[in-house]
A and B are shown apart, each in its own frame.
Chain A
Amino acid sequence: MSADPVRAWGVRPANIDCLSGVCPMRFLPPIAIEARYLPSRWDVLAAVLVFGFIILFGEASRILGEPLKLLTISPISLDPAYLPEYALRTAFRMLIAMAFSLAFTFTYATLAAKSRRAGALLIPLLDILQSVPILSFLSITVVFFLSLSPGRIFGAELAAVFAIFTSQAWNMAFSFYQSLRTVPGELIEAGRLFGLNGWARFWRIETPFALPGLIWNMMMSMSGGWFFVTLSEAVSVGHTSFALPGIGSYIAMAIAQRDLTAIFWAIGAMLIVILIYDQLMFRPLVAWADRFRIDQEPGEEVEETWALRMYRRARLLDLMSAPFNWFMRWSYRLTPPTFNVAGPVGGRAINRAADGLWYGVLAALAAFALSRVYLFAKSGGLTVSEVLSVCGLGFLTFLRVAVLIALASIIWTPIGIYVGLRPKLARLVQPIAQFLAAFPANLLFPVVVLGIVTFRLSPDIWLSPLMVLGTQWYILFNVIAGASLLPKELRDAGTNFRVSGWLWWRKIALPSVFPYYVTGAITASGGSWNASIVAELANWGSETLRAHGLGAYIRQATLDGNFQHVVLGTAIMSLFVAVINRLFWRPLYWYAERKFRLA
């Protein structure tokens, strides 16, 4: 890794004004985006560590897991009367997972940003982690979590929360890390001059600076969580299966029993919960976070939200938050102002001994992890032909993702531009796109499966659209954001020179949204790989449709409890995602930044 990642990125992530309150800033794609394409030894190390750990963890916890098959939870009822309770439970689970994700973000990303040594490892590690499908996390950890409280629901709840966590945490950590690395130097200097200690600087300068980006990513994470809600609540890994009371399990049950009415009830309930989250949490958060924007120009007026007004005016909330505020203020003073203590100085002699120790420990860890991977591959009887055939499946899934992202781009980019240039329309469409991004693909399974069966269609082709069902919207709302930021003068110039038709699209509209499109497409592509796990294998009652692909392979291996195949499939998928990011998306991202970013 370059000595100075901020400089290596070259460009500061820009804060932008946007349509009122809909997207407070342009967000960066949730992958590591240093301007360097070839994998470094750190990337290799990160991959080895992740898979070594996965294997170790899975094998260790399988020994724990034997008696846990007996776990019983009262079956899910399809009676809509239960839905409010189920919805509440699901919402609550997501909230807890979000709390964990925040805790992870504040620790992991902070450590990565503050410590040169840790950052060199943690960022490639995060890059690998975000490419691991969440089902793999679940299938590997579920036995462990269940063993924490044998026979009780608590372990299952933990497993579900963990699964949701893995669909939320990575992009939040990326966002926070990138913000921390780009806090304006003078703000930090001002803080140090006033004697703010590291703790106070973190909460009063760095965190506020990072908030708009973090909140935006929290919204994306919430969508991600909803998308996998059936996977995380209705778990079936080998012999272990349970369904926690919640909307996800309700949907799974409805699918198993071919109950179309119940599906509609579930859609309704989900819509309401997402709406409540939006109104009570995200709208106020976005409106509130507007003040943390760093650009000094007055932006467009952010819509006052009724919830924020309520929070601000409610005495009760003031009373409740007072002790917390008091505690934070007290904590800032816990250490005397750190006057006359040298801060980190660039170019100071590096502590070589500590470096040596750190690299030594890492090398030892890597050797250990590598040996586990090797033993695992040998004992599991993984043959070269097996690996090759899984790679072939990976290629099929890759084809699907590529074709679908291309299709989605062709459809949504023009529409996004059209909408983005009309502020009123954009205000209307943006929240809808965000809602659709959260819409779980499983809810459409009945329609798709029925269609495929009735018309005797090929699942290999017709199951595929489910992969981009949730992710195509990232392209749409990024393009809308980009188009709405096209400076009026550029548009006027185009009109003035009578640029119209295809020429207008080619020379003005498409280039101006290109950087935004790339960010959206990166997110969409990553999400589609993840979604292949739910999309390539679909059930409707006893009817099971399976497309040939890596997603179906991992899903099937999970259902069979074939640990070796889960690990192999996951590793291949990570490899595909990582290679595509490096060879395609990252160069494209920098090309877009260099050439098309409007300063």
Chain B
Amino acid sequence: MANGAALLEVRDIRRAFPRPGGGELLVLEDVNLSLRQGEIVGLLGRSGSGKSTLLRLIAGLSEPSGGSVNYLGEPVLGPAPGIAMVFQSFALFPWLTVLENVQLGLEAQGLPDSETRARALKAIDLIGLDGYESAYPRELSGGMRQRVGFARALVVNPNILLMDEPFSALDVLTAENLRTDFLELWNEGDLPIKGVILVTHNIEEAVQMCDRILLFSTNPGKVVSEIKVELRHPRDRNDPAFLALVDRIYVEMTARRVEKLAQGPQRATLGTMLPRVSANLISGLIEAVAAPPYNGQADLPKIADDLQFEIDELFPVAESLQLLRLADLEGGDIKLTETGKRFAADETDERKRIFARLLIRYVPLAALIRRVLDDRESHAAPKSRFLDELEDYMTEEAAEETLRSVVSWARFAELFSYDDDEQMFSLENPA
């Protein structure tokens, strides 16, 4: 492979979506990236960091609000020949057989039937789908389906392959099997592609597959750092260098977030989106950190591993602890505050009281709802009352989500109740 030449240049990309109540929601800001020949570049970040949005901009499936995408020196104005994509949900056409699915891209190009067929069969062969040509997708396992996704993308001889979390819908074993098979083909130069962009939230996957990793922050999505992976293929997950790199990325991601929190307003405001984290998860993490061997302070990657959590899943929980001042985040560590320790030691009733107090103090939305309910003679208020107010700050979906989160927390704290049939908040507990 001739390495070095730029296949793709992404310059100062900005993407914003209009909000229903006016204004806009910034999803990507000032994103720059280039893809050179022979490279696999990983976009790593939490869900909601705009990685997938960026991938779709590169694919020409949507347009940036600012900046440009250049492929081989030409601006990308729509789906470009030579850029193919593998989807998270496979996006196979259930009414087409494996062979027909793979042929589709070639047929669209108007190639003669004989060539279409020959090339499709070759791609099916390459990707290890021999014998499955006439099967329908629903007859296949998840791993085999994604193989069809790969064959379908490769058959059009693309220069760039875009992968949108291609292994995240698969079980661990199948995902690993498909990853190593792909890397083997890639490293032996059996694939027509010249460069790959991989979107993932799995740090180990990124370290295993990529030559460069771009870390994304959320709200708005930005590239916050670039990490080169110079390990030789095939990479061993138990290699100390591999583990060290994974750890370093963990630290970097947590540090970034702490830094961001330190810069930003110390307290949540009414416009702060609340993560969908149950009170049970919060209690569970506090208990885990309080218990030995951590005794109040834990290394995040380590405790994530212990609890069999992905970083993507653990962050919102840790962040909720921080938001409620139950814990502090420092470096890659989580450390319980005094309140957090008391919470860990107490019984359910006392925990509920602590939680209620923290909600009133640190979650302005919870405080607002409680205040409105206290003020009204009926001690009841419709959901729309608060939804409208939230929509000044965020999209409709985000507002719904935030309201759902606050309801679930308030239910645990017995701060107020909510009736979904009536869509009403109230102070009454069901008799």
Contacts and interface: CB of A to CB of B under 8 A. Distances in A.
B234 to A, nearest CB: 30
Interface stretch (B84-92, B183-191, B208-216, B256-264): B84-92
A194 interface: yes
A332 B116 CA distance: 15
Contacts of B85: 189-190, 193
B76 A340 contact: yes
Contacts of B110: 332-333, 336-337
Interface residues of A, number: 45
A217 B20 CA distance: 35
Contacts of A347: 16-18
B80 A340 contact: yes
A292 B107 CA distance: 20
Interface stretch (B57-65, B236-244, B302-310, B367-375): B57-65
B171 interface: no
B62 A192 contact: no
A339 B78 contact: yes
A487 interface: no
Interface stretch (B32-40, B134-142, B197-205, B286-294): B134-142
Contacts of A356: none
A298 B95 contact: no
A192 B79 CA distance: 6
Contacts of A341: 77-79
Given A291-B136, A298-B139, A340-B76, A194 B108 contact: yes
A196 B95 contact: no
Given A205-B93, A336-B110, A346 B17 contact: yes
A317 interface: no
Contact of A298 (B16, B63, B108, B138): B138
A204 interface: yes
B81 interface: yes
A195 B91 contact: no
B325 interface: no
B364 interface: no
Nearest to A336: B110
B94 interface: yes
B83 interface: yes
A290 B89 CA distance: 21
Contacts of B20: 3
B71 to A, nearest CB: 9
B95 A291 contact: yes
Given A297-B138, A332-B108, A340 B78 contact: yes
Given A187-B93, A189-B85, A204 B79 contact: no
B81 A337 contact: yes
A343 B94 contact: no
A34 B84 CA distance: 36
Given A186-B91, A189-B61, A340 B79 contact: yes
Contacts of B156: 194
Contacts of B91: 184, 186-187, 189-190
Nearest to B83: A193
A194 B104 contact: yes
Contacts of B87: 186, 189-190
B119 to A, nearest CB: 13
A337 B94 contact: no
A296 B84 CA distance: 23
A297 B420 CA distance: 32
A469 to B, nearest CB: 36
Interface in A164-220: 184, 186-187, 189-197, 200, 204-205, 208
Contacts of A337: 81, 108-110
Contacts of A204: 93, 104
Contacts of A293: 94, 138
Interface string B392-415: 000010000000000000000000
Nearest to B76: A340
A547 to B, nearest CB: 39
Nearest to A201: B108
6 contacts: A193-B105, A195-B105, A204-B104, A291-B136, A337-B108, A337-B109
